[in-house]
Structure 1
Amino acid sequence: MMASNMASTQPTHANELALGDELSSPSSKYLLKSFLGQGSFGKVARCVRLKDMTTVAVKMMKNISKSLKGANHEVSIMVNLKSLDPDRCNIVRWHEIFIDRGHICLEFEHLDKSLYDFMRDRHFRPLLLMEIRPVVQQLANALNHLKTIGIIHADIKWENVMLVDQERKPYTVKLIDFGLACKVSDAKLCAHVQTRPYRSPEVILGLPFTEAIDMWSLGCLAASLYLGALLYQGINEHDMIRRIMATQGPLPNNMLSHGRKTACFFQREHKSGTTSWKLKELQHKDGQRERRTPNLSSLDELVTIRGIKYDNYADYSAHSHDVAMFADMIKGMLQLDPAKRITPSQVLEHRFISLSHIAHLESMSSYVRSCFKIMAPHRIQQNRPPPPAESSDLRQPKCNISHLGASSQTTNSGKSGIKRSLEDEDGKACGTSQPSKRVKSTHDDRTLPKSCALQSALSSNSQTQSCISPSVKRKRTNEEEPGHKEKRSRNTSSEQRGRVKPTKKIHIEDPCTQPRVKRKAPDDDDDKDVRPAKMPSPCG
């Protein structure tokens, strides 16, 4: 949609942006200070918004058909995210969209650095469990809120998790880059989603997928922070399947039987009336090398892969229990069957996050006290969102089979190490079945027209936010109104006039003054009183 309207404004060399240039939007001008990153989509720059001298991040996408489609898709997702509070939901804050000199520009809040940059700066030295815990908690919180509005992020990885301000707010993170995100109802089979080391088995096999793929990615991310290296760094999808099975065992037969891409990796065998699947031999292409990653024969080895050295026995015991709970959580996140994978809300309630398994050692263990201290700033953000309007059953993903996507091929990025190139084949956007929102370009390429659907959506942002208001006023019922007892007595007496007298008088008693409640008991219990269990009075 957007591409056809703006194809005439493709950028030339004269339109290329350089440091010191100014960008213009309808609301402000921006001074380009530095480039933070780039990829096939374009560049991300650190800019100063001149109207208030605030530092922001501007994602600049080239005005070509591929970028236009991706920009339009990302903007449509960001419009849906406007109903969430970015700070409480741990997602990046989006400000506006504008067009300048052949570039589609998305303005976001400026954040500190990505988890990848943070790990690189420390030479990929593994994080402590007490450092991993707040990161996992906040990302699970973000996924929990995304689930309530039916959004799949579909590209959780080190590069897409940003530290807000590591110096002032240690390990406070936000989820960024919704370029591959899609609605659960729009998820397509064989879609290009998830960067390969974080790709779930159902996506690799070409099965219908739900938001459970984000939980798989989060499990891979958490394990990699503990290991200091990617858990599954396959050179292609075939190698990914081989590595997953080497650690977690064979894939469920029901997944293999229904996968559209199963035949690419497995060979069907019939023995004694039963069907089994054998993994094909991996063929290495020229230039492809085995990547050095931790060789785990089981996820249980996470417990013993790193030594525990503490002089204080209480610290030793606490850390031993902590790493066991961490491994238990990772196994729940990395369940091969997505129907058995734990949900974001279950992660938030897991003992590794709540610290309930070692809380009794707090007075004796400095390790436990440090764990509680680092988690303290993040507890206040753990507000549960309201349940979704319609419950989604992960066992029966809602996917439109009539919109099956074509099978895709993956290519090697050609780069060694942990960093993922944004120009990799994993950077393709997840398609949607909904028509794209139309964005037109004016003659000066600086703004979106007032008639644009996106512009009208941005200008009419909903004031109701699912995470903003923890307390909501509600209308009192009759029983809560002051003096309701007396009013009801007068109304009842007036209404009874001229009517047939009831066979049994109904007593309406105030629960605040009458803790004893009469009920009709069967058989010989008619005259007995039943005291209710001890419950807090509605009057407080």
Structure 2
Amino acid sequence: MLGLLCWKLTGFEEDKNFHVVLNSVLAGRYQVTEYLGSAAFSKAIQAHDLHTGMDVCVKIIKNNKDFFDQSLDEIKLLKYVNKHDPADKYHLLRLYDYFYYREHLLIVCELLKANLYEFHKFNRESGGEVYFTMPRLQSITIQCLEALQFLHGLGLIHCDLKPENILVKSYSRCEVKVIDLGSSCFETDHLCSYVQSRSYRAPEVILGLPYDKKIDIWSLGCILAELCTGNVLFQNDSPATLLARVIGIIGPIDQDLLVKGRDTYKYFTKNHMLYERNQETNRLECLIPKKTSLRHRLPMGDQGFIDFVAHLLEVNPKKRPSALEALKHPWLSYPYEPISS
């Protein structure tokens, strides 16, 4: 038996356990075949759809009003995105069904494989053949940029692109899908100041500047560097140390951005010296960025790849390419050996 335990609730519904028995049928349609795992606000199971014969992923949302509301927002966005991509061309998760069952919201979607963070970790620790070769990184990049170009064309910003939110559809064909629109927003919305997971957060977000779809491009640059090396490019000890690493690896932040940033004062003195408060002594300490380069940080990458990542990691968002512009970069048309399936 797979015990899917809901949180102790705070006035949303009665506290109840959601017990899912292997081979049991949910809502007269979805036969449980496997427990897949848990996330912050949901548990996931694999099920066989008795109506269509397909294997699907069923997300059981924890019984909490905030989780419920956020999931409804994601459902609305997935429906909107899927409606505009009926042929499933743009590498985004497909939503099949959703319903309320035993006082829980259940979301039925496309069954995919491991996320890129988990798969990269497994690939590295297993000691097998390296999966993330230049041809495969090129293919993954094109798919992610096509997904972003499509989202951005609809006026949407993903806002949380990271390896955990890119899932493998086929290992042999190197097909991926972008998931998790739970943090996404329309460019016309009142934009939240706290977006993106920290290691993938664009400088303009950290500095409290207005932002747009270009923040997703920055995140993709960080992801590609990580897939190439197995290491996070900008470690997330704190926003100040992250900025120090950005400056050390990519280069200085334009004075214009520092002057206009609403939160610049949290990390820079009036003379634009980077600082951080020492948590032990409560004293302000100057941070000196350690000078290095993408070439040094990406020793496994070829020059075309390094040039491309540098293209995505333009500190100034006005100089950073759009998804469409990035797709025209010469590295993406470099004739590597075909990916064997």
Alignment partner of 1:69 is 2:72: no
Equivalent residue of 2:278, what SS? coil
CA contact (8 A) 2:78 2:94 kept: no
> Equivalent residues in 2 for 1:383-422 (5 A)?
none
Alignment partner of 1:329 is 2:302: no
Structure 2 residue runs without a partner (length 5+): 1-9, 282-289
Alignment partner of 1:131 is 2:126: no
Structure 2 length-normalised TM: 0.86
Q: Paired residue for 2:175?
A: 172
Q: Paired residue for 2:98?
A: 97
Alignment partner of 1:208 is 2:210: yes
Q: Give, in whole Å, the separation in 2 of the partners of 1:11 and 1:78.
A: 29
Distance 1:260-1:345 versus aligned 2 partners, 3 A rule: same
What whole-Å deviation, never above 9, does each CA across 1:26-47 have from its counterpart, x for those lacking one? xx52122333232221212211
Letter paired with 1:188: L
How far off is 1:330 after superposition?
A: 0.8
Q: Paired residue for 1:149?
A: 154
Letter paired with 2:35: F
Instruction: Report which of the two has the higher share of strand.
Output: 2
Distance 1:222-1:243 versus aligned 2 partners, 3 A rule: same
Letter paired with 1:202: E
Letter paired with 1:48: H
Q: Paired residue for 1:113?
A: 114
Equivalent residue of 2:204, what SS? helix
Distance 1:86-1:142 versus aligned 2 partners, 3 A rule: farther
Distance 1:158-1:11 versus aligned 2 partners, 3 A rule: farther
Q: Which among 317, 320, 323 is matched to residue 338 of structure 1?
A: 317
How far off is 1:296 after superposition?
A: 7.1
> Equivalent residues in 2 for 1:449-468 (5 A)?
none
Structure 1 residue runs without a partner (length 5+): 1-6, 270-276, 287-294, 307-321, 360-367, 378-540
CA contact (8 A) 2:37 2:43 kept: yes
How far off is 1:326 after superposition?
A: 1.0
Alignment partner of 1:374 is 2:339: yes
Equivalent residue of 1:186, what SS? coil
> Equivalent residues in 2 for 1:506-521 (5 A)?
none
Distance 1:186-1:19 versus aligned 2 partners, 3 A rule: farther
CA contact (8 A) 1:302 1:327 kept: no
How far off is 1:284 after superposition?
A: 5.1
Q: Give, in whole Å, the separation in 1 of the partners of 2:86 and 2:291.
A: 39
Q: Which among 4, 9, 15 is matched to residue 18 of structure 2?
A: 15
Q: Give, in whole Å, the separation in 2 of the partners of 1:215 and 1:172.
A: 20
How far off is 1:343 after superposition?
A: 1.3
Equivalent residue of 2:174, what SS? strand
Q: Give, in whole Å, the separation in 1 of the partners of 2:174 and 2:105.
A: 31
Q: Paired residue for 1:35?
A: 35
Q: Paired residue for 2:276?
A: 281
Q: State percent identity of aligned pairs.
A: 28
Q: Paired residue for 2:123?
A: 122
Distance 1:9-1:49 versus aligned 2 partners, 3 A rule: farther
Q: Give, in whole Å, the separation in 2 of the partners of 1:143 and 1:230.
A: 21
CA contact (8 A) 2:12 2:65 kept: no
How far off is 1:262 after superposition?
A: 1.4
Letter paired with 2:317: P
Equivalent residue of 2:276, what SS? coil
> Equivalent residues in 2 for 1:428-443 (5 A)?
none
How far off is 1:189 after superposition?
A: 4.3
Q: Give, in whole Å, the separation in 2 of the partners of 1:257 and 1:45.
A: 49
> Equivalent residues in 2 for 1:221-300 (5 A)?
221-269=223-271, 277-281=272-276, 283=278, 297-300=292-295
Q: Give, in whole Å, the separation in 2 of the partners of 1:231 and 1:342.
A: 20
Q: Give, in whole Å, the separation in 2 of the partners of 1:350 and 1:254.
A: 27
CA contact (8 A) 1:126 1:225 kept: no
Q: Give, in whole Å, the separation in 1 of the partners of 2:169 and 2:190.
A: 30
CA contact (8 A) 2:240 2:276 kept: no
Structure 1 length-normalised TM: 0.56
Q: Give, in whole Å, the separation in 2 of the partners of 1:98 and 1:48.
A: 16
CA contact (8 A) 2:79 2:95 kept: no
Q: Paired residue for 2:286?
A: none
Distance 1:117-1:264 versus aligned 2 partners, 3 A rule: same
Q: Paired residue for 2:189?
A: 186
How far off is 1:57 after superposition?
A: 0.8
**Which structure's CA Rg is the greater one?**
1
How far off is 1:166 after superposition?
A: 1.1
Distance 1:141-1:259 versus aligned 2 partners, 3 A rule: same
CA contact (8 A) 1:189 1:207 kept: no
Q: Larger relative contact order (C-alpha < 8 A, sep ≥ 6)? A: 1
Letter paired with 1:123: R
Q: Give, in whole Å, the separation in 2 of the partners of 1:86 and 1:116.
A: 28
Distance 1:243-1:138 versus aligned 2 partners, 3 A rule: same
How far off is 1:132 after superposition?
A: 0.6
How far off is 1:86 after superposition?
A: 6.1
Q: Give, in whole Å, the separation in 1 of the partners of 2:234 and 2:181.
A: 23
Equivalent residue of 1:214, what SS? helix
Q: Give, in whole Å, the separation in 2 of the partners of 1:85 and 1:217.
A: 27
CA contact (8 A) 1:219 1:333 kept: yes
Letter paired with 1:36: L
Q: Paired residue for 2:287?
A: none
Q: Give, in whole Å, the separation in 2 of the partners of 1:233 and 1:187.
A: 29
How far off is 1:323 after superposition?
A: 1.5
Equivalent residue of 1:130, what SS? helix
CA contact (8 A) 1:266 1:280 kept: yes
